Amino acid sequence: VKHLTETQFNQYLDYELDEEAQLQIEAHLEICAKCRALFNELGMVFSTLAELPDVPLDRDLTASIMANLPQTQQRPALWRQPAFIMQSILTIVLLILSMPIFRIWGPRVVVWFQELKLPTAQIPSLPMLLDHLATLLSPASYLPFTVPWLPELPAQLSGPNVNIMLILLIMTGVLWMIGNVSLLRNGSGAAG
Amino acid sequence: MNNKTDRSLILLAAQGDREVFGELVRRHQSAIFNVAYRMLGNRHDAEDAAQEAFLRAYAAFETFDTGRPLLPWLKRITINLCLNRLQKERPTSSLEDLQLSPTEPRPGPEKQMVVHERVEQVRTGILSLPPRYRAVIELRHFQNLKYKEISDVLNRPLSDIKSDLYRARRMLAEQLKDLK
């Protein structure tokens, strides 16, 4: 007779078998005295452990646990954290920088998109996009009109030098995003 | 605070509220103490382990998934802590050294003796197991964890868990043979 394996005993006792496998084991236990004896021994372990009562706790442990808790490091309020202050400054710089840029670039980008007349159902090729991008950056493409309610660029930065402002804007934006990632990782939420 | 659910307290405790953590300790200290008592076998060590388990839980609260129940997490910390202690202080104490506290509930005059003796024998049987067998018995029989969950808690292969569980049960069966 082939006796039950460790795994079969475990799975049967722990109700981890499907009905068919369970019936097979029960059939074997009917005919095999050795496995039946072992099953009874193991079954006794289950019932004995299940009956083991809890012991009452003689004293309240709360006070001594609380006394040994590490002193919490008081995290400063969000608005006092350096990362938050830096983010706020960057947000203000970003807004100031972007206002004159959008004064000029806003209408320019709109027209640029209008001029990008793509044949329908055709994906533009990379050279085509690059050519068109060059027209956007070319001084010849400056438009005579602007967004009137936004502040103007300083005189020395107007005209083709607007690109310096654009680079500054992008760099500030990158710093702003890095700062936001840092704030989010600290669980403080993002500024701006 | 007494009326609040564990879940609402956990959210506050996770933000570092010490008072709320104290309330969670009050609620669960008895269960944690019992886990440690089954693993270690004496009151003093069990109280000490329970305290350390709570301190570890407090330090690791940031890693706790606040959407899950707290008690099973605390119990797992306790079991691993006890297991580490037992493995450090090898060789394990012999059966003669095991002095169990007479703290079980007392039913009746004569029956009390029999019940008490039986309970002590079971506890002694558990404590005679090697620490890692004790841990699988605790996790399977008292915490009702599945094999895979036990393997995750103890960070050991599933095949080892199954075989340890079987051997632990065989050893316990031997220990408890005379128990009627």
Residue of B29, B169, B177 lying closest to A57 (CB–CB): B29
Three-class DSSP category at A13: helix
Peptide bond into A148 cis (omega under 30): no
B 113-132 residues with CB < 8 A to A? 119, 122-123, 126
Residue pair B33/A57 in contact (Cβ under 8 Å)? The answer is yes
> Is the CB of B165 inside 8 Å of chain A's CB atoms?
yes
- The contacts of residue B13 (CB under 8 Å, 6+ apart) are B20, B21, B24, B61
pTM (2 d.p.): 0.62
Eight-state DSSP code of residue A155: G
Task: Show the DSSP H helices in chain A as ranges.
Answer: 6-13, 19-31, 33-51, 62-68, 82-115, 126-137, 162-185
- H/E stretch holding B126 reads helix B109-127
pLDDT band at B95 (very low <50, low <70, confident <90, very high): very low
- pLDDT above 70 as % of chain B: 84
Residue pair B29/A62 in contact (Cβ under 8 Å)? The answer is yes
Whether the pLDDT of residue B102 is over 50: the answer is: no
Name the token pair of B89: 């202080």
pLDDT band at B100 (very low <50, low <70, confident <90, very high): very low
pLDDT band at B47 (very low <50, low <70, confident <90, very high): very high
Regions in chain A scoring below 50 on pLDDT: 188-192
Give the pLDDT of residue B177: 81
Closest to B122 measured CA to CA, from A147, A190, A185, A47: A47
Residue of B nearest to A48 (CA): B122
Residue of B140, B162, B177 lying closest to A7 (CB–CB): B162
> Is the CB of B56 inside 8 Å of chain A's CB atoms?
no
Residue pair A52/B119 in contact (Cβ under 8 Å)? The answer is yes
Closest to B168 measured CA to CA, from A14, A35, A25, A28: A14
d(CA A111, CA A114): 5
Look up the ipTM and state it. Answer: 0.79
Residue pair A91/A191 in contact (Cβ under 8 Å)? The answer is yes
Residue pair B138/B149 in contact (Cβ under 8 Å)? The answer is no
In this predicted model, what pLDDT tens digit does every residue of B109-168 receive, in sequence order?
666 667 778 888 889 999 999 999 999 999 999 999 999 999 999 999 999 999 999 999
Are residues B37 and A55, on separate chains, in Cβ contact within 8 Å?
yes
- The contacts of residue B14 (CB under 8 Å, 6+ apart) are B61, B62, B64, B66
Residue of B103, B141, B146 lying closest to A56 (CB–CB): B103
Residues recorded for chain B: 180
Residue pair B75/B104 in contact (Cβ under 8 Å)? The answer is no
d(CA B151, CA B161): 6
- The contacts of residue A152 (CB under 8 Å, 6+ apart) are A100, A103, A146, A158
Determine the residue among B9, B25, B165 to mutate to test chain A binding: the one whose Cβ has the most chain A Cβ atoms within 10 Å. Answer: B25
> Is the CB of B37 inside 8 Å of chain A's CB atoms?
yes
